Amino acid sequence: MTSINKNGVLAGKVAVVTGASRGIGEAIAVRFAMEGARVVVSARTVEEADHFLPGTIKATVKKITDAGGEAIAIKSDLAVAEDRENLIAETRERFGPVDILVNNAAVTWFVPVNDFSEKRFRTMMDVQVWAPFELAQACLPSMLERGDGWILNISSHAAIHPEAQTPGGHGGTVYGMCKAALERFTTGLAQEVYGAGVGVNVISPGLVATPGVVHHKLINENNKDRVTPVEHMAEACLRLCYGDAKSLTGRIDYADQVIKEFSLEPADLI
- The question of whether 175 is a catalytic residue gets the answer yes
Q: CA nearest 57: which of 26, 88, 83, 14? A: 26
Tell me how far apart the alpha carbons of residues 156 and 169 are, in angstroms, rounded to a whole number: 14
| Annotated catalytic residue, options 175, 194, 242, 254 | 175
Residues with a catalytic annotation lie at 175
